[in-house]
Structure 1
Amino acid sequence: MRTQTAPRPTVPVPASDPARAVTALEDAGLVSPDRHDEALALLGTVLASDAGTQPTATLRRRLGEVATYVGVAFVLAAVAVFLAPRWLDLGWVTRVAMIAGAGLVLALAGWGVARPVGGFAALRAGGHESRLRLVSVLLTGAAGAGAAAAGVAVLEQVQRSGTEMEHGTRVGLAGFGTLVVLAAAAYVLAPTLVAHAALVVGVGYTVPFLSQELGLHSGRPIGFGFLAAGVVWLVLAERDRWREGLAARLVGVGFLFAGAQAQLASDTRWVGYVLTFAVGVAAFLLHLTRRAWPYLVLGVAGVTVAVPEALIDWTEGTLGTAVALLGAGLALLLSGLLALRLRRDEPS
């Protein structure tokens, strides 16, 4: 009858202390104490070899990543140099097709890089940061190419109709609106700061172009558009929909502040002061529950900026620069004291 042997205990091997590892192996009966020195020398050699191999492998991966970026840049530069002297001789359909084709090649390259590790879902799951960055750059480049193709196509239509002066903003709207859609898709597939930045640029230009295309030339609709964008960014950030939570909060508070200040370009400037102050107060309240420093920065900036702006405008400058500076100083002081109080109340 076969007797079953008890499983040997698992012995943790501390890589930073080979002597402790050998002693643990001896206590478990896996290594004879008579061969302590031999085991210690062998284990030290193996651990030293592993320690030297890991940095080398990391360096190779980084060099490979950089080489890929440089290669893509050279290819795009070669295409640009080839097309530059021939651009005016090409028909608009050919121009659009070539730009869109370049974008398609970049998108397919991104898919090809993601495929060996299981596709975009595997990239998002983690463990392939270098590959994720590369795929994101390729997809973001494809988004930029698609936006350029849309802009060139609409530019041709506007030039044919002879309405450049009336509908010139339509070109920008087509290009940056397309960038918003494609950059959002790139971020969903391969979320990195690169695609996030492209999306921010797209939204930042689409809002004013859309406002002008609709015939709304004051700062009010542009400001409300930025305010809406800021709210969307922060809601998604608080729901952990952005991979870069801190960057998303910074973008959100930036849009909110810009949206409030854009109201100063309208006929009702007081709306800008009120909104800027309200945004600052709301940011302080958000910081009470979210404990994110971008909200604290927005709170201080909103309150500090709104007070002197309102004083100068409502008094038509009769109080002078000194009073305005005094108001700004008091607002900044109160904001700073409130910020310190909020920081003191934070759990350590």
Structure 2
Amino acid sequence: MNETHRLSPEQRARLERLADRGVLTREQVAAVLEELDSPRAAPESTGSGLWEVLGYIGGALVLGGASLLVGMSWEDLTRPARVGLLVAATLALAAAGLVIAGGPRGARAFAAQPASPRGRIVGVLFALGACTAALAVGSGVDAYESLAATATGLLVALLGYAVVRGLPLLVVAVGFSVGVVVSAGEEWFSESTPLMTTALVALGAVWTALAATGALRHRQTALGAGVVIALAGSQYPLTSEQPWWGYGLTLLIALGCFAAYLAERAAVLLVLGVVGVTVSVPEAVWDWTGGALSGPLVVLLVGVVFLAAGGIGLRLRRNPPPLKS
């Protein structure tokens, strides 16, 4: 519900007298009157947490019910019936989100507002809808099922995030983007290690760049997700005949996190930089020594790396870079 705080005639007359005396300009008086007369959204009720939980439960039950129904009778259903059930679940989730948001205009308003219980519920429902939409497409095609499903889920999640700016939609979009890269690698490149590594590192760089440029509301989450994807991609070559460029790339990404931390001052960069160093250095030593190091020595080495990385991190936090003029 919207509230309007209108001034009484006496209060308006006092503002006019201030303008006549030159204390306020006519433009300032008009701005004050416009601000006080405009509708103001009522604050969220203190009991909204209960409705938020009920919304989450309802969305989960819709998704779980659809999955259970399809799973129990999957073999007995025709393809159109399977797709129809999943499409119906997708539409139900989208409709529920729109009803809670107050229509398409209300859903778009969440993008410019701070996070609220209603906004979180709508984001979760739309994120679940992206999942059911992906299942519907994957069930309806004969070829490239995984690629088609993940691409659909990514598209729907990105569209939902553009409207609502909900964290669940961003998380789902990140997950589906990884699925698109992995599915494409399996379908077209026979899981080629160099191509998969390049594709995943590039995908991580894309999410990191989107976060760094401010294109996403949840910068820390997108930043962390991008670095995690790149680190995961850099580990692919460890199973190949030339594992050195796997741990070398991991170490390079970790050092890049430390460098970026000097400019961004995001704790997630510092943490993931430490993780990258902690993973890559023991891998390098193990490879260089032909696995001659015993388990306790590897653990000791990991501990030394942690201490060194922690010392570097504390030093960076104690001596921040000078402010740019």
Q: 1:264 to 1:68 in 2, by over 3 A?
A: same
CA distance in 2, matches of 1:284, 1:278: 10
1:73-93 CA-partner distances (Å, limit 9, x unpaired):
445555556555544332112
| TM-score, length-scaled by structure 1 | 0.72
- Tell me the CA shift for residue 118 of structure 1: 3.4
CA distance in 2, matches of 1:76, 1:312: 46
CA distance in 2, matches of 1:324, 1:341: 26
2:242 to 268, 285, 299: 268
- Tell me the CA shift for residue 242 of structure 1: 2.0
Q: Please give the root-mean-square deviation of Cα atoms over the aligned residues, in Å.
A: 3.1
- Tell me the CA shift for residue 245 of structure 1: 2.0
Q: 1:219 to 1:341 in 2, by over 3 A?
A: same
CA distance in 2, matches of 1:125, 1:345: 35
Unaligned runs of 5+ in 1: 10-53, 159-169
- Number of the residue aligned with 1:58: 46
CA distance in 1, matches of 2:315, 2:120: 40
- Number of the residue aligned with 1:23: none
Q: Contact 1:218/1:266 (CA < 8 Å) preserved in 2?
A: no
Give, as a single letter, the amino acid of the residue that structure 2 aligns with 1:292.
A
- Number of the residue aligned with 1:333: 307
Structure with max Cα Rg = 1
2:287 matched to 1:299? no
1:45-64 CA-partner distances (Å, limit 9, x unpaired):
xxxxxxxxx89x311x2223
Q: Secondary structure at the match of 1:213?
A: helix
Identity %: 34
CA distance in 2, matches of 1:119, 1:279: 41
- Number of the residue aligned with 1:183: 157
- Tell me the CA shift for residue 345 of structure 1: 0.6
CA distance in 1, matches of 2:106, 2:139: 32
CA distance in 1, matches of 2:103, 2:87: 26
Paired residues, number: 288
2:91 matched to 1:104? yes
Q: Contact 1:220/1:265 (CA < 8 Å) preserved in 2?
A: no
Q: Contact 2:98/2:104 (CA < 8 Å) preserved in 1?
A: no
- Number of the residue aligned with 1:124: 111
- Tell me the CA shift for residue 298 of structure 1: 2.1
2:55 to 62, 68, 72: 68
Q: Contact 1:218/1:265 (CA < 8 Å) preserved in 2?
A: no
- Number of the residue aligned with 1:247: 221
CA distance in 2, matches of 1:150, 1:58: 40
- Number of the residue aligned with 1:148: 135
Unaligned runs of 5+ in 2: 1-11, 18-42
Q: Contact 1:230/1:252 (CA < 8 Å) preserved in 2?
A: yes
Q: Secondary structure at the match of 1:58?
A: coil
Give, as a single letter, the amino acid of the residue that structure 1 aligns with 2:163.
L
Give, as a single letter, the amino acid of the residue that structure 2 aligns with 1:304.
T
- Number of the residue aligned with 2:34: none
